[in-house]
Amino acid sequence: MKSLLVACLAALPLLAAPQQFHLNLDSVAAKASEHVDVSLNASTLQFAAKFLDASDPDEAKVKKLIAGIEGIYVRHFEFKSAGAWSQADLEPIRAQLRGPEWSKIVGVTSSEDGENAEVWLRTAGNKSVGVAIIATEPKEMTVVNIAGTIDLEALSELGGHFGVPKVKPPDKPQKEE
């Protein structure tokens, strides 16, 4: 009985951990010239929300957006040269996303400039409980896990803020996955 209790207590942090897949990209980090590693759990997000200015339109949007989020985990890598990373580096991530709880909702591949972006949705019952984003460019790679409920439309709107220029729609349709 005592060992069962110890095992249950040991499992508690795992149950509490909202990260929905392992961002095991150490091999990629070793090849990157720069990398950003952001891991924010629910309590950090709630704490940060207190410092977001509701009177600032951008910060108000962020505050609203993070209200339903339990965690944000981001790994972003930049490489000095194209070809420094390969699709095989992403295989540990993709292998986890092949699980039944994940489904790819959209993906865009540009053969012209070698850019690829895809969004995966995690569902539990009929409810979406998380998002995975994989975005790659010849010299960049970003993998994101957002745990909780998120409005993708609102997230997309933020793409034109915080110094990220809005992307104009392409003149010609490009290949969609």
Contact 118, 108 (CB under 8 A): yes
Residue 132: beta bridge partners?
A: 120, 145
Backbone φ, ψ for residue 84 (5° rounding): -70, -25
Q: Enumerate binding residues for other proteins (CB under 8 A).
A: 36, 38, 40, 44-45, 47-52, 62, 65-66, 72, 74, 76, 106-108, 110, 115, 117-119, 133-135, 142, 144, 146, 152-153, 155-164, 166-171, 173-174, 176
**Choice between 52 and 84, CB closer to other proteins:** 52
Contact 67, 50 (CB under 8 A): no
**Choice between 51 and 126, CB closer to other proteins:** 51
Read off the tokens for 118.
């895809």
Strands 140-148 and 127-137 come out as antiparallel
DSSP letter, residue 159: G
Which residues neighbour 89 within 8 Å (Cβ) at sequence distance 6 or greater?
Answer: 25, 27, 28, 31, 141
**Choice between 53 and 91, CB closer to other proteins:** 53
Kindly state the smallest distance separating residue 161's Cβ from other proteins, in Å: 8
Kindly state the smallest distance separating residue 157's Cβ from other proteins, in Å: 8
CA pair distance 145, 130, nearest whole angstrom: 7
Kindly state the smallest distance separating residue 89's Cβ from other proteins, in Å: 17
**Choice between 65 and 84, CB closer to other proteins:** 65
Kindly state the smallest distance separating residue 10's Cβ from other proteins, in Å: 28
CA pair distance 65, 86, nearest whole angstrom: 33
Kindly state the smallest distance separating residue 20's Cβ from other proteins, in Å: 14
**Choice between 84 and 135, CB closer to other proteins:** 135
